[in-house]
């Protein structure tokens, strides 16, 4: 399945593949640290420490999660065939993700409304974040290993997604989001909480590097010409930079952590995510259902993609502007002493 | 319990369950967002503290309702794919972009400014905060616009072609967006959201007036809510009537089901008030009828012929008993809303709006009526569209994902358990907030006594003084 990459096709479908990849990455960048804080919540002390961590994301989590809706909705609109194959194939992890995100989302409000059951909603916050993250990671792994396609639909069973590889990607994302959460707290908190977050960030950073190495080592065994994508000329001139940059980024990350920089660890952790994401793109592109369907085969007609592109071109810059504004409004440290 | 059901039936139950739960929250938050914008606007214009207090009071409730609406809505945006993948593949090129526009123009707007609206008053100051509140309110309306356009297209599809793969592909976007049932459905649904909110606000106001008829916050909210009900209920009944006529034109079988007309009536159809529709036998048992009244309502002519379901192939019948009863539930509640509006007008004219306890009890009883009516109306239009997802073109039975029944049974059970746990708790928290009387100095969302950490570390910003310098308005004074 290797359609010629001619210009007439390198068009709307490619642009929309890029836009959906952007939405997914924006989601990972923004909701990753929210979910990470949920994952790390049990390691924070009840009281001001937990409350401060929660407050650092409370004003923005909802907007962050909207990128997930754009990713899903955009996939349905721009690549309906892929949406129709992939979602039933990943039925169990996606339902689990949705249920996890429900608990995570309402916990932001409910824990304040019900002090007597705050411990329960804190647990729901963590459990929801962990389940949501694991499910997202498993989804990624199951997609990479490929799904059975029959006609214009999914042709496999409802447990196909469960493999050692998908569990590995699930666990990796858990460590990765926890790292984003820890470095976010390094940036947004002070004192004891910050010191704790910095210690966690060090351990999680090592874990993330191990995870990147494991997933990278396992991916070639999945088939689907992933190796070819990486080592064919002239691609290799570009792809070779990715592991190199991961090594450099890792070094800088630990350096900045040791130097007690406050913003750099978070930004460098995001950088590692960006590189991993680019690596995935190299492996998969131009397939949208790996090994089965390309973006051109799955694309909705130009009348659909073009109509949406007008909206996306106008709205996404506006959205990024006011999202930036919202973050700017809530900039700075969430101290723990402002409320006494 | 679920093992004798097919995967299709289970998927339908799951969608009905999750969409019904979800719909409750936007039905409330669309109206409440506008109400909050009005309250904050009135506060900025008059600087009367009662408006700011009411704003803070309802903001806490809005935050809960909105959070539940968001998390239950995400489920739906993925369920099209997980459970209705064939429908998504075929209809995705048409309704997918409508939903993408909803995300781009509405969801981000709401979510982006919600944080400022909930937590940002001290950071951005009242004017910019008002902008955020208005942005959220506008966002809820834009969201309704797009999702109802998509739903209406499924009811009255036009502006499309069918390609070789069997997909609906767009031919004329304006025709798709402004499909025949859309203007009616949008009007009817948005008015329903406003009425629902007005009834809920009115019930809370009445509840507190029953305990203390001098409470200024309760008086203002009751006054505003009853005015809204009195003004909107008659318009809504008119809009519903027009929506029904539009349905008669484009989806006659749905109207036959609503009316309980299994049989054709060549010279004037009766209005079936009540009865027991028997789908098997194809007739309504124990019917209480007004002769020829249905023809009068639908055709404005006592003797106009009206076709019944006997003119439609049986395989294309919607399930009449559900549509018949949900429609009567909606109409009955609508008439009660009209009555409440009229009674409140009478009380207002006689100067007893805040003192006449039977009115307050009536208003409290009507508090949930909007939610029930909205759901009943939704059931009417959705079950009435059956057996199709895209009316007349794509059958529900041919829309579902190729999933095993146990997979759907498991997810349905999980949804039921989680939704009842989470949303029962959330509804309970909303009721607890509503039971508290609006205080003269309503605590900030960010610094209520029961949640001391909310403001943790918020940088000192321009503080909001509920009593700005200038002509002093008595805090407990009657603002009306």
In a domain, B244, yes or no: yes
**Cα separation of the two ends of chain B:** 57
Q: Which residue of B has its CA nearest to A333?
A: B457
Residues in A touching B455 (Cβ below 8 Å) = 338-339
Please name the member of B92, B429, B455 whose beta carbon is closest to the beta carbon of A300: B92
Q: Pick from A7, A47, A61, A32: which is nearest to A326 by CA?
A: A61
Looking at the 3D structure of chain A, how many domains does it have?
1
Q: Report the C-alpha gap between B123 and B464 in whole angstroms.
A: 10
Is A337 a domain residue?
no
Q: Choose the closest CB to B100 out of A77, A87, A330.
A: A77
Q: How far is CA A340 from the centre of its chain?
A: 37
d(CA A79, CA B60) in angstroms, rounded, equals 39
Q: What is the pLDDT of residue B37?
A: 96
Alpha-carbon distance of A302 to A235, in angstroms, equals 29
Nearest CA among A155, A201, A152, A193 for reference residue A175:
A201
So what's the pLDDT on residue B442? 64
User: Does the residue A158 lie in any domain?
Assistant: yes
CATH of the domain at A198: 1.20.1630
Q: Mutating which of B63, B94, B97, B123 best tests the A interface, going by the most A Cβ atoms within 10 A? A: B97
pLDDT at position A337, please? 35
Mean pLDDT for the stretch of residues B264-289: 89
Q: What is the distance between the alpha carbons of residues B196 and B369, in angstroms, rounded to a whole number?
A: 7
- Nearest-Å Rg of the Cα atoms of chain B is 24
When scoring A24, A44, A69, A123 by the number of chain B Cβ atoms within 10 A, the one with the most, hence best to mutate, is: A69
Measured at the alpha carbon of residue B165, what is the angle toward residues B161 and B166, in degrees to the nearest 5? Answer: 50
Residue A158: count other Cβ atoms within 10 Å of its Cβ.
20
Distance, CA of A4 to CA of A10 (rounded, Å): 10
SS3 state of residue B390: strand
pLDDT tens-digit series, residues A138-195: 999 999 888 888 889 888 888 988 999 999 999 999 999 999 999 999 998 888 889 9
Residue A336 lies in a domain: no
- Per residue in A56-98, pLDDT (tens digit) is 888 888 888 888 989 888 999 999 999 999 999 999 999 999 9
* Cβ–Cβ gap B456/A338 under 8 Å: yes
| Helix, strand, coil content of chain A in percent (nearest 5) | 75, 5, 20
Query: Which of A22, A56, A112, A132 best tests the B interface by mutation, with the highest count of B CBs <10 A?
Result: A112
Mean pLDDT of B49-77: 91
* Number of structural domains in chain B: 1
- CA distances A320 to A327, B104, B148, Å, are 10, 11, 26
pLDDT confidence tier of residue B444, bands split at 50, 70 and 90: low
Tokens of B56: 């803070």
B451 to chain A: nearest residue by CA?
A112
Distance (Å, rounded) from C-alpha B92 to C-alpha B87?
7
For B338-348, what is the mean pLDDT?
Answer: 95
Least confident range from A34-43, A264-273, A276-285: namely: A276-285
For residue A46, is it left (φ>0), alpha (ψ between -120 and 50) or beta?
beta
* Separation CA A14–CA A46 (nearest Å): 48
In a domain, A80, yes or no: yes
Contact assessment for residue B265 and residue B303, using Cβ atoms and an 8 Å cutoff: no
Instruction: List CB contacts (< 8 A) between A152 and chain B.
Output: 86, 89, 165
Cβ A39 vs Cβ A174: under 8 Å: yes
Nearest CA in chain A to B174: A307
Chain A residue numbers touching B101 (CB-CB < 8 A): 308, 311
Instruction: Tell me whether residues A91 and B104 touch, CB distance under 8 A.
Output: no
Mean of the per-residue pLDDT values of chain A: 87
- C-alpha span between B152 and B368 (Å, rounded): 26
Cβ neighbours, 10 Å, residue A219: 21
A94 domain-assigned: yes
Residue A2 placed within a domain = no
Q: In 3D, which of B211, B190, B212, B175 has the Cα closest to residue B140?
A: B190
Per-residue buried b or exposed e for B210-243, using 16+ beta carbons within 10 Å of the residue's own CB? eeebebbbbbbbbbbbbbbbbebbeebbebbeeb
Please tell me if residue A98 touches chain B, with a CB cutoff of 8 Å: yes
CB atoms within 10 A of CB B377: 25
Share of chain A above pLDDT 90, in %: 46
Neighbours of A297 (CB within 10 A): 18
CB distance A68–B74 less than 8 Å? yes
What CA–CA distance (Å, rounded) separates A51 from A118?
A: 11
pLDDT recorded at residue B458:
36
Q: B289: which strand partners?
A: B272
Cβ within 8 Å, pair A315-B105: yes
51-90 in chain A: CB under 8 A from chain B: 51-52, 55, 58-60, 62-63, 65-66, 68-70, 72-78, 80-81, 83-88
- Angle of helix A61-78 versus helix B108-119 axis, rounded to 10: 170
Q: Is B96 within the bounds of a domain?
A: yes
DSSP state of B465: -
d(C-alpha B341, C-alpha B338), whole Å: 5
- Does residue A142 sit within a domain? yes
Residue with the bigger pLDDT between A7 and A40: it is A40
Sign of CA pseudo-dihedral A212, A217, A223, A225: positive
Whether B110 and B136 have beta carbons less than 8 Å apart is answered as: yes
Q: Given a cut of 80, is residue B160 above it in pLDDT?
A: yes
How near does any CA of chain A get to the CA of B173, in Å?
A: 8
Q: Do A84 and B86 touch (CB under 8 A)?
A: yes
Please report residues of A whose CB lies closer than 8 A to that of B103. Answer: 66, 69-70, 73-74
Complete DSSP assignment for B201-232: HHHHHHHHHHH-TT-HHHHHHHHHHHHHHHHH
Pick from A77, A89, A309, A322 the residue to mutate for testing the B interface (most B CBs within 10 Å).
A77
Residues 112-151 of A with CB under 8 A from B: 112-115, 150
Find the mean pLDDT for residues B339-344. Answer: 96
Question: Residue B383: inside a domain, yes or no?
Answer: yes
Contact B85 A70 (CB under 8 A): no
pLDDT of B223 > 60? The answer is: yes
pLDDT tops 50 at residue A32 = yes
Give B332-375 as a 3 state SS string: HHHHHHHHHHHHHHHHHHCCCCCCCHHHHHHHHHCCCHHHHHHH
Cβ pair B78:A94 closer than 8 A: yes
Query: pLDDT band at residue A2, thresholds of 50, 70 and 90?
Result: very low
Residues 6+ apart with CB under 8 A from A149: A85, A155, A289, A292, A293
| B264 part of a folded domain | no
Nearest residue on chain B to A64, judged by CA atoms?
B111
Radius of gyration of chain A (CA): 20
CA distances from B450 to B62, B399, B443, B447, B455 (A): 18, 49, 10, 8, 12
DSSP per-residue string spanning A266-330: HHHHHHHHHHHHHHHHHHHTTEEETTTEEHHHHPPPHHHHHHHHHHHHHHHHHHHHHHHHHHHHT
Cα distance between the two ends of chain A: 64
Between CA A295 and CA B406 the distance in angstroms is 32
Cα separations in angstroms, A338 against A190, A195, B447, B457, B465 = 13, 19, 11, 4, 19
What average pLDDT does this structure show over B238-263?
Answer: 92
Contact A307 B173 (CB under 8 A): yes
Does residue A229 lie within any of the structural domains?
yes
User: Does A91 reach chain B within 8 Å, measured CB to CB?
Assistant: yes
The residues pairing with B394 across neighbouring beta strands, listed in sequence order, are B390
For testing the chain B interface, which of A62, A122, A136, A293 should be mutated: the one with the most B CBs within 10 Å?
Answer: A62
Residue B287 within a domain: no
pLDDT, tens digit (0-9, with 9 covering 90-100), for A229-268: 777 777 777 788 888 898 999 999 999 999 998 899 999 9
- List CB contacts (< 8 A) between B410 and chain A: 92
Taking an 8 Å cut-off on Cβ atoms, the answer to whether A69 and B118 are in contact is: no
> Rounded to 5 degrees, what are φ and ψ at B200?
-65, -45
Kindly state the helix (H) or strand (E) to which residue A171 belongs, with its residue range.
helix A164-188
Q: Are the Cβ atoms of B100 and A74 closer than 8 angstroms?
A: yes
Range of the domain at B388: 7-256+320-435
Interface residue A38 vs chain B (CB under 8 A): no
B92: which 2 tokens?
A: 């995705």
Q: Does A234 touch chain B (CB under 8 A)?
A: no
Query: Could you tell me what percentage of chain B is helix, strand and coil, using 3-state DSSP and rounding each to the nearest 5?
Result: 70, 5, 25
Tell me the percentage of chain B whose pLDDT exceeds 70.
91
Q: For chain B, give the mean pLDDT.
A: 88
- Structure-block tokens of residue A172: 């990796």
Q: DSSP letters of A109-170?
A: HHHHH-GGGHHHHHHHHHHHHHHHHHHHHHHHHHHHH---EETTEE-S-TTTT-SHHHHHHH
For CA atoms B436, B441, B444, B449, the dihedral sign is negative
Q: Count Cβ–Cβ pairs < 8 Å, chain A vs chain B.
A: 279
For the segment B44-50, the average pLDDT, to the nearest whole number, is: 91
How would DSSP label each residue in B263-312? S-BTT---EEEEEEEETTTTEEEEEEEETTHHHHHHHS-TT--B--GGGS
Q: What residue in A sits closest to B105 (Cα-Cα)? A: A315
Q: Are B206 and B359 in contact (CB under 8 A)?
A: yes
| Test mutation, A303, A309, A316, A335, chain B, max B CBs within 10 A | A303
Domain containing A78: what range? 12-329
Inter-chain residue contact B456 with A300, CB threshold 8 Å = no
Q: Which pTM was predicted?
A: 0.88
With a CB cutoff of 8 Å and minimum separation 6, the contacts of B42 are: B48, B51
Q: How far does CA B5 lie from the centroid of its chain?
A: 30
> Taking 70 as the threshold, does the pLDDT of residue A8 lie above it?
no
- Cα–Cα distance between A248 and A145 in angstroms, integer? 28
Cis peptide before B376 (omega within 30 of 0): no
Judged by DSSP in three states, B191 sits in: helix
Q: Which residue of A has its CA nearest to B67?
A: A106
Does residue B478 form part of some domain? Answer: no
């Amino acid at each position: 399945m290797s359609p010629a990459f001619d210009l007439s096709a390198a068009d709307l479908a490619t642009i929309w593949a890029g836009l959906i990849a952007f939405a997914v990455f924006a989601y990972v960048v923004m909701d990753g640290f929210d979910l990470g804080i949920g994952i790390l919540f049990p390691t924070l002390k009840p009281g001001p420490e937990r409350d401060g961590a929660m407050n650092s994301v409370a004003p923005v989590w909802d907007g962050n999660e909207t990128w997930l809706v754009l990713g899903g909705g955009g996939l349905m609109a721009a690549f309906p065939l892929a949406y129709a194959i992939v979602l039933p194939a990943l039925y169990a992890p996606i339902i689990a993700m949705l249920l996890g995100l429900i608990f995570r989302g309402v916990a932001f409000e409910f824990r304040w409304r019900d002090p007597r059951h705050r411990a329960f909603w804190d647990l729901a916050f963590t459990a929801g974040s962990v389940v949501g993250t694991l499910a997202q990671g498993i989804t990624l792994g199951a997609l990479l290993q490929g799904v059975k396609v029959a006609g214009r639909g999914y042709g496999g069973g409802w447990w196909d997604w469960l493999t050692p590889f998908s569990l590995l990607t699930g666990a990796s994302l858990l460590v990765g989001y926890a790292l984003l959460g820890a470095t976010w707290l390094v940036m947004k908190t002070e004192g004891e909480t910050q010191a704790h977050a910095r210690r966690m960030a060090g351990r999680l950073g090592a874990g993330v590097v191990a995870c990147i190495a494991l997933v990278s080592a396992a991916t070639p065994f999945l088939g689907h010409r992933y190796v070819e994508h990486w080592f064919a000329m002239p691609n290799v001139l570009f792809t070779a930079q990715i592991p190199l940059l991961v090594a450099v980024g890792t070094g800088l990350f630990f350096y900045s952590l040791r130097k007690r920089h406050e913003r750099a660890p978070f930004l460098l952790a995001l950088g590692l995510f960006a590189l991993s994401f680019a690596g995935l793109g190299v492996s998969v592109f131009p397939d949208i259902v790996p090994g089965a369907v390309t973006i051109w085969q799955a694309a909705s007609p130009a009348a659909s993609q073009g109509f949406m592109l007008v909206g996306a071109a106008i709205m996404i810059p506006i959205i990024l502007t006011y999202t930036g504004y919202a973050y700017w409004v809530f900039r700075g440290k969430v101290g723990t002493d402002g409320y006494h | 319990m679920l093992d004798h059901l097919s995967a299709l039936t289970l998927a339908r139950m799951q969608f009905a369950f999750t969409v019904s739960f979800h719909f409750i929250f936007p039905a409330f938050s669309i109206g409440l967002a506008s109400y909050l914008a009005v309250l904050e606007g009135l506060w900025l214009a008059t600087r009367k503290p009662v408006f700011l207090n009411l704003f803070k009071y309802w903001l806490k409730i809005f935050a809960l309702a909105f959070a539940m609406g968001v998390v239950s809505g995400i489920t739906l945006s993925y369920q099209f794919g997980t459970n209705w993948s064939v429908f998504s593949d075929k209809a995705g090129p048409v309704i997918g972009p409508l939903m993408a526009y909803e995300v781009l123009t509405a969801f981000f707007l709401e979510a982006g400014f919600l944080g400022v609206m909930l937590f940002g008053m001290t950071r951005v100051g009242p004017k910019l905060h008002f902008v955020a509140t208005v942005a959220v309110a506008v966002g809820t309306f834009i969201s309704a616009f797009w999702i109802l356009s998509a739903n209406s297209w499924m009811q009255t599809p036009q502006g499309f072609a069918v390609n070789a793969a069997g997909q609906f592909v767009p031919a004329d976007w304006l025709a798709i967006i402004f499909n025949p049932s859309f203007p009616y459905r949008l009007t009817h649904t948005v008015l329903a959201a406003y009425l629902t909110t007005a009834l809920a606000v009115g019930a809370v106001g009445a509840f507190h007036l029953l305990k203390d008829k001098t409470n200024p916050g309760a008086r203002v909210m009751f006054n505003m809510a009853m005015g809204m009900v009195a003004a909107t209920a008659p318009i809504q009944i008119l809009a519903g009537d027009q929506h029904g006529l539009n349905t008669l034109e484009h989806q006659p079988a749905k109207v036959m089901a609503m009316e309980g007309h299994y049989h054709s009536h060549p010279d004037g159809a009766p209005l079936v008030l009540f009865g027991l529709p028997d789908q098997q036998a194809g007739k309504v048992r124990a019917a209480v009828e007004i002769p020829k009244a249905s023809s009068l309502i639908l055709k404005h002519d006592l003797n106009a012929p009206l076709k019944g379901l006997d003119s439609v192939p049986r395989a294309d019948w919607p399930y009449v008993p559900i549509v018949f009863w949900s429609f009567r539930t909606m109409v009955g509640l609508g008439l009660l809303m009209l009555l409440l509006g009229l009674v409140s007008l009478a009380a207002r004219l006689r100067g007893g709006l805040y003192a006449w306890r039977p009115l307050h009890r009536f208003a409290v009883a009507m508090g949930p009526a909007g939610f029930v009516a909205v759901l009943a109306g939704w059931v009417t239009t959705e079950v009435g569209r059956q057996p199709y997802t895209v009316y007349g073109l794509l059958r529900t039975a041919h829309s579902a994902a190729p999933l095993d029944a146990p997979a759907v049974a498991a997810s349905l059970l999980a949804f039921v358990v989680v939704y009842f746990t989470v949303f029962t708790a959330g509804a309970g928290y909303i009721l607890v907030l509503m039971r508290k009387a609006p205080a003269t100095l309503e605590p900030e969302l960010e610094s209520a006594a029961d949640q001391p950490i909310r403001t943790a570390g918020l940088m000192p910003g321009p503080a909001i003084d509920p009593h700005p310098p200038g002509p002093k308005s008595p805090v407990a004074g009657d603002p009306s």
